[in-house]
Amino acid sequence: METLGGAEFAPDTTYLNTSTCGLLPRRTVAAVTALAEELAAGRPGGAGDFSEVTAARQSFARLTGVDESRVAVGGSVSVHVGLIASSLPTGAEVLFPEGEYASVITPFLVRGDLKLRYAPLGELAAAVRPGTALVAFSSVQSADGRIADLPAVRAAAAAHGARTLVDASQSAGWLPLDAGAWDFTVTGGFKFLLCPRGASFLTVTEDAQQTLVPIHAGTFAAEVLWGTTYGPIEELAHSARRFDEPTAFLSYHGARQSLALLEETGIDAVHAHNTRLARRFRAGLAELGHEPVPGESGIVAVPGLGHRVPELARAGITLAERAGNLRAAFHLYNSAAEVDRVLDVLSG
């Protein structure tokens, strides 16, 4: 069983830590390096090309099944979430899974005037009730790789008139995502999307766009780019671009290349590859007497084995410890031979 990445990647270790940070493809490194060298030499066109940002936006839109007019770009998930949090009225109830990633919760918490409520992930849909304003959760949990019951949560939110916010940082790039099914999605690009850190994406339905105030609107938020460089922008972009953060061009010159690679490979192919390796790993763990978190996720967590991370690192294998779990995240640059190598070390 080969990798899907081929010659695009050159890891020095058995790298099973994409949930922390994905590997950069060679083409991405080349694009970032080329821009950095131009900037060092004195680039006449400024810090970067907005056409690269547009290309990355369009690519992400195709990967997630929405029109590019619904995609805003930025640098971090927490800023996107903060924008959404700022739009809620005082006293609004926001529902989260227990143990949700901090960047999804904290922007709402610091408001100080919202009602935050929590439920077990498996009971999230049942916990939606009349008066719930927003359900905010990760499609795949960072700590243990569990996949949320997306259809159930969507149906429950619709039944009670609640909006939805999905953090797809641990799923976009390997788990097919219909971003248009949710009021908001936020995605950090530096994990399974293989982008440099500093590239992130926000999708907003046309209806939900009317609820947001573009509080960090800058030059690139104008309907006519460069139409208003000095003085106030009189006409903001009619699309979600009005919610863009100022662009980190080095990141987006690279992001265009990474997202193009994923488009060429196909998310369905990546999903089949990643989950096949994860099943192999789960079966091997069971044979060794360990009980991984069950499911069909491409991320595998083993409770109580987090302390083995340093030992695995000494053997040239990179995984992560999260909430006491040993966490392995498989992606297109991994192979069955690497799964077997991890199992061999864990066998002692």
For residues 271 and 4, the answer to whether their CB atoms sit within 8 Å is: no
The pLDDT of residue 334: 97
For residues 239 and 205, the answer to whether their CB atoms sit within 8 Å is: no
The pLDDT of residue 4: 87
Q: Which positions of the chain have pLDDT values less than 50? A: 1
pTM of this structure: 0.96
CATH architecture of residue range(s) 6-25+266-346: Alpha-Beta Complex (3.90)
Closest CA to 212 of 36, 341, 82, 325: 82
The pLDDT of residue 258: 98
Q: What is the dihedral of CA 27, 28, 31, 34, to 10 degrees?
A: -90
Q: What is the spatial distance between Cα 258 and Cα 280, in angstroms, rounded to a whole number?
A: 27
Q: What is the spatial distance between Cα 168 and Cα 332, in angstroms, rounded to a whole number?
A: 18
For residues 161 and 124, the answer to whether their CB atoms sit within 8 Å is: no
CATH 3.40.640.10 for domain 29-264, yes or no, is yes
The pLDDT of residue 6: 83
Strand ranges of the sheet holding 325-329, from the earlier edge strand across to the other edge: 299-303, 325-329, 320-322
DSSP bridge pairs for 167: 138, 186
The pLDDT of residue 324: 95
Going from N- to C-terminal start, the domains of the chain cover 6-25+266-346, 29-264
For residues 96 and 105, the answer to whether their CB atoms sit within 8 Å is: yes
Question: Three-state DSSP class for 115?
Answer: strand
Q: What is the spatial distance between Cα 253 and Cα 263, in angstroms, rounded to a whole number?
A: 16
DSSP bridge pairs for 303: 325
